[in-house]
Chain A
Amino acid sequence: MTTATPTVAVGTQKTDGTPSSTAGRVRKRLNSRTATLVSIVIAVVWTIPTFGLLVSSLRPEDEIKTTGWWTAFTNPQFTLENYQQVLFGRSSSSGQLAGSFINSLAITIPSVLFPLAFACLAAYALAWINFRGRDWLYIAIFALQIVPLQMALVPLLKFFSTGVTLGGVTLMPAWDLVDEQKFAQVWFAHTCFALPFAVFLLHNFISQLPGDLMEAARVDGASHPKIFRTIVLPLITPALAAFGIFQFLWVWNDLLVALIFAGGGDETAPLTVQLAEMAGTRGNEWQRLTAGAFVSIVVPLIVFLSLQRFFVRGLLAGSVKG
């Protein structure tokens, strides 16, 4: 606002005020310039560790292990050998992360879709279908959000491995899954753990749709399934995207659930499990750790950067509206 005059009406300007003197204007600009400088410096410092990892992952093994990554700028030597090794390496110690990458995908996609669909249906029923005990049911599901998933791990694992017997009668046989079939366990666990938050988040959106719209559809004779499919679903796409991104990041980045329900075998272990394993047993093999870490980071980073808008919206809706 360089052309601002002191007579500008109060309230028409949102920010920046109207510094009446030249000194005031200079100070203001200086202030915002300092703020810019400081905030950029902090942002850069914040990014340095990640940047260092990326640079290191591109350096030859000997270089990584003997000199700091910052020397790469004075003595540039770059290679893709580390990625080649860590993704497709022959020895089992190299990680063979290409397989884990596929495991991560195979775990993540259904683990996002199932809770999304189920929570959507449930949230619609809780918001727009009248039935007795609706509010109590919603509160109960809402409250389940606070149960740490640690509370469910031991019995759930037992449920998969031995099934359910009540008084000598087998209600549900053991799942007895081997190798890649174990993905089903992980999907199941992730779906269960995600549902309370998913229902809560989607209910926030669905319950705010205009009631007139629903009423009009009902008067026209549309049934609940029809309203759900043709009116509600198209309107809540942003919310679906928000939850989808949340759940994607959560599942892709999860270690605990995968560790317990997928196991550490090459057939099922996702990237996080393999990396945690590598960090524990081969903690000094930085050429593999850096490249491996970057392989695991790159997908969520792309998802996150391209869909940041939805993510932030979901974050604010989920946490602030409460």
Chain B
Amino acid sequence: MEFDFADQQPKLLMLMYGLVAFVVVVGGLLLLLDVVPAWFARRREAQLVAASVSGAPITRRPKQREGLFALFFLLPTLLLLTIGLVVPAIRTTLLSLMDSDSTNWVGLRNYGWMFSDGSIVRVLINTLIWVLLVPLVATSFGLIYAVLVDKARFEAVAKSLIFLPMAISFVGASIIWKFVYAYRGEGDQIGLLNQIVVSLGGEPKQWLLESPLNTLLLIVIMIWIQAGFAMVVLSAAIKAIPGDIVEAARLDGVSPWQMFWRITMPSIRPALIVVVVTLTIATLKVFDIVRTATNGNYDTSVIASEMYNQAFRYGQNGQGSALAVFLFILVIPVVIYQIRNLRQQREG
């Protein structure tokens, strides 16, 4: 089949419809907000004029209906959040207590399955490894690099290069790294990692097939993407440390080591917590990397990818929902921790 631009027309037409819908909805809303109050104002004016002509007592100006305005401003957001997030989340919680085609109530059986089925326990352990390693390594790396690059020349370029993977999709990043891990049985290696191993005198390996090494190699992809985020946020925090504090410490003759632990670390603590929390949540939900690199095979599956498989490939709505709810439960303590920290900061 030759590529034919005519085939693409329905899509572009659909995009047009979408844009028209956007203009109509948003423009219509703004117009409504403009016209309706203006109409009321005119009527009120007419009333006043009529009243002053006839000499009737002027009625008290009604209290402005701020609430009505707010309702219209908030209407699309509230509607969409209710339909798209709140109701589905409640439904998912209910579905997790039902069987695979959501007809019978089964109590907590799906949760029991989660902790007894060997392969799912493996999934939970993998998720734990991800959640422990990614925030720790990515944040440490980002911090070290932020400190290092603070004194370096070409700072902007170096930071951009580290930050660049943030723009690459997880799918693209997974393909990039799959290529690094690529394996050939005979002849020259085409994967960089195997080439390095071979040139050091080792045997090439099928990296992504060997558990538990493959999980670690997938974690490398995530760290590669997220370290830039940690670095940018922490670098900004380091630059925000007041100069006179640094100067005073330097005059007191502290060593760089002391400077780092006594001045830098306490000053950037809030940013550090935010980075760790953000990365933890992102890691808990990681799906694309596992799906693209191994499709969850060879003992690499994590909760989010298993949830997709259960709910959308095997048609196990109950079990999939239970995994989603479990994911939600795991996120909650992390967020509570962050909120408590924020509150302490505000008070302190």
Residues of A in contact with B (beta carbons under 8 Å apart): 10-11, 13-15, 17, 31-32, 35-36, 38-40, 42-44, 46-50, 52-53, 56, 64-71, 87-92, 96, 98-99, 102-103, 105-106, 109-110, 113-114, 117-119, 121-122, 124-126, 129-132, 134, 137, 141, 144, 146-156, 159, 179-181, 183-184, 187-189, 191-193, 195-196, 199, 223-226, 228-229, 249, 252-256, 259-260, 267, 272, 275-276, 279-280, 283, 286, 289-290, 292-293, 296-297, 300-301, 303-305, 308, 312, 315-316, 319-320, 322
**Given A68-B192, A90-B2, A312-B232, does the pair A146, B331 have CB atoms closer than 8 Å?**
yes
Q: Which residues of A contact B233 (CB under 8 A)?
A: 315-316, 319-320
Report the minimal beta-carbon distance from A214 to chain B, rounded to whole angstroms: 13
Contact partner of A283 among B157, B178, B189, B236, CB < 8 A? B178
* A150/B275 contact (C-beta < 8 A), A121-B29, A279-B178 known: no
- Taking a contact as CB atoms under 8 Å apart, the answer to whether A297 and B148 are in contact is no
- Distance in angstroms from B194 CB to nearest chain A CB is 9
Closest Cβ of chain B to A211, distance in Å, is: 16
A31 partner residues in chain B, CB cutoff 8 A: 151
Q: Whole-angstrom distance between the alpha carbons of A137 and B71 in the complex?
A: 12
Cβ–Cβ contact B332 & A146, under 8 A = yes
Chain A residues near B55 (CB, 8 Å)?
Answer: none
| Pairwise interchain contact B308-A40, C-beta atoms closer than 8 A | no
Asked if B288 is an interface residue, CB under 8 A from chain A, the answer is yes
- Check A297–B172 contact: CB distance below 8 A: yes
Min distance, Cβ A121 to any Cβ of chain B, angstroms: 5
In the assembled complex, the CB of A290 is this many whole angstroms from the nearest CB of chain B, namely 7
CB-CB contacts below 8 Å: B220-244 with A: 224, 229, 232-233, 236-237, 243-244
Contact B70–A320 (Cβ < 8 Å): no
Identify A147's interface contact among B160, B163, B323, B328, CB under 8 A.
Answer: B328
| B73 with A124: CB separation less than 8 A | yes
Cα distance A61–B172 in the bound complex, in angstroms: 20
Closest chain A CB from B29 CB (angstroms): 7
CB distance from B35 to the nearest CB of A (A): 9
Asked, given contacts A147-B89, A255-B169, whether A118 binds B18 with beta carbons under 8 Å apart, the answer is no
Shortest C-beta distance, A320 to chain B (Å), equals 6
The answer to whether A144 touches B18 (Cβ under 8 A) is no
Partner of B18, one of A69, A179, A187, A260: A187
24 contacts between A and B (CB under 8 A): A35-B149, A39-B148, A40-B158, A53-B179, A68-B192, A70-B192, A91-B1, A137-B74, A141-B81, A151-B85, A151-B88, A152-B89, A154-B88, A154-B92, A180-B10, A224-B66, A260-B308, A272-B171, A272-B172, A272-B288, A290-B175, A293-B175, A296-B171, A301-B164
Return the 8 tightest CB-CB contacts between A and B, nearest first.
A192-B84, A253-B169, A125-B73, A304-B167, A155-B88, A152-B88, A122-B77, A110-B18
Q: Would you call A121 and B179 a contact (CB within 8 A)?
A: no
* Contact of A193 (CB < 8 Å), options: B22, B84, B166, B251: B84
Report the Cα distance A52→B250, complex, angstroms.
44
Given contacts A42-B145, A50-B164, A146-B331, A193 and B171 within 8 Å (CB-CB)? no
In the complex, the answer to whether B152 meets A90 with C-beta atoms within 8 Å is: no
* Pairwise interchain contact A110-B85, C-beta atoms closer than 8 A: no
Least CB distance, B85 to chain A, in whole angstroms:
5
Shortest B93–chain A CB gap in Å is 8
Query: Is B174 at the interface (CB under 8 A from chain A)?
Result: yes
A131 close to B92 (CB less than 8 A): no
A149 to B84, CA, bound (A): 10
Name A50's closest neighbour in chain B (CB-CB). Answer: B176
Q: Which residues from A are CB-within-8-Å of B317?
A: 154
CB distance from B146 to the nearest CB of A (A): 10
Residues of chain B lying within 8 A (CB to CB) of residue A254: 169
Please give, as numbers and ranges, the residues of chain B lying within 8 Å of A303 by CB-CB distance: 167
Interface residue tally on B, bucketed by range? 35 or more
Nearest residue (CB) in A for B3 is A88
B188 contacts A188, C-beta separation under 8 Å:
no
Interface string of B90-115 (1 = CB under 8 A from A): 01110100000000000000000000
User: With A and B bound together, what is the CA distance between A293 and B169 in angstroms?
Assistant: 9
Nearest CB on A from B4, distance (A) = 9
For the complex formed, measure the closest distance between the CB of A239 and the CB atoms of chain B, giving whole angstroms: 16
A56 cross-chain contacts in B, Cβ below 8 A = 179
Q: Mark B40-67, 1 if CB is under 8 A from A, else 0.
A: 0000000000000000000000000011
Choice from A10, A137, A191, A225 contacting B251 with Cβ under 8 Å = A10
Q: Which residue of A lies closest to B335 (CB)?
A: A146
Contact of B281 among A71, A146, A260, A312 (CB under 8 A): A146
In the bound assembly, the distance between CA atoms of A15 and B332 in angstroms comes to: 41
B129 lies within 8 A of chain A by Cβ = no
When the two chains form their complex, are residues B91 and A50 in contact, meaning their CB atoms are under 8 A apart?
A: no
Distance of A52 Cα from B321 Cα, bound (Å): 40
**Which of B145, B233, B247, B335 has the largest number of chain A CB atoms within 10 A?**
B247
Q: In the complex the two chains form, is B91's CB within 8 Å of A32's CB?
A: no
B7, B15, B320, B328, most chain A CB atoms within 10 A: B15
CA distance A228 to B26 in the complex (A): 13
- Contact A53 B176, CB 8 Å, known A121-B73, A151-B89: yes
Would you call B87 an interface residue if the criterion is a C-beta within 8 Å of the partner chain's C-beta atoms?
Answer: yes
Nearest residue, chain A, Cβ from B237: A320
Contacts A99-B7, A110-B15: A224 and B33 contacting too (C-beta < 8 A)? yes
